């Protein structure tokens, strides 16, 4: 994908958030989600950090398959990740903004899912 280790690392973190074991652990998922997190979900719902952590813990659905991941760096400490996910009978275009905080730790602070009919 890229020679930039930060971009590869953020892609790995995004995919880690799809892992059932991570999603089921409020602590592990919380390490990846910024305190100011906000999401505009594919359902139309707006999520904050606490509500998304609550949802993730109870989510027993199959993790989506992620395709066409593209990571770019709009600023030194920000990574924009775009991709398509497929699962539960639907296809969703997704974007996540990750930022590097104190100690060099990357956390997602914005995510948006947009349903699409394209597959």
Instruction: Report pLDDT digits (tens) over 25-82.
Output: 999 999 999 999 999 999 999 999 999 999 998 888 888 899 999 999 999 999 999 9
Question: What is residue 2's predicted lDDT score, i.e. its pLDDT?
Answer: 64
In sequence order, the 6+-apart residues with CB closer than 8 A to the CB of 12 are none
The whole model's pTM is what? 0.91
Domain boundaries, the chain: 5-116
Question: What is residue 28's predicted lDDT score, i.e. its pLDDT?
Answer: 97
90 forms beta bridges with: 87
5-116: what fold?
Nuclear Transport Factor 2; Chain: A, (3.10.450)
Q: Does 96 score more than 90 pLDDT?
A: yes
CA atoms within 13 A on the CB side of 84: 9
Integer CA distances (angstroms), 113 to 43, 91, 105, in order? 8, 10, 24
Place 102 in a pLDDT band, splitting at 50, 70 and 90.
Answer: confident
């Amino acid at each position: 994908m890229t020679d930039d280790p930060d971009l590869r690392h953020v892609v790995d973190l995004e995919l880690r958030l799809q892992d059932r074991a991570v999603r089921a652990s409020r602590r592990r998922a919380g390490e990846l989600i910024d305190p100011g997190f906000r999401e505009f979900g594919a359902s139309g719902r707006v999520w904050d950090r606490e509500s998304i952590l609550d949802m993730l813990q109870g989510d027993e659905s199959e993790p989506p398959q992620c395709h066409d991941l593209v990571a770019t760096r709009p600023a030194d400490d920000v990574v924009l990740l775009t991709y398509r996910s497929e699962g539960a009978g639907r296809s969703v275009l997704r974007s996540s903004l990750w930022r590097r905080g104190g100690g060099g730790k990357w956390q997602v602070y914005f995510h948006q899912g947009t349903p699409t009919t394209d597959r």
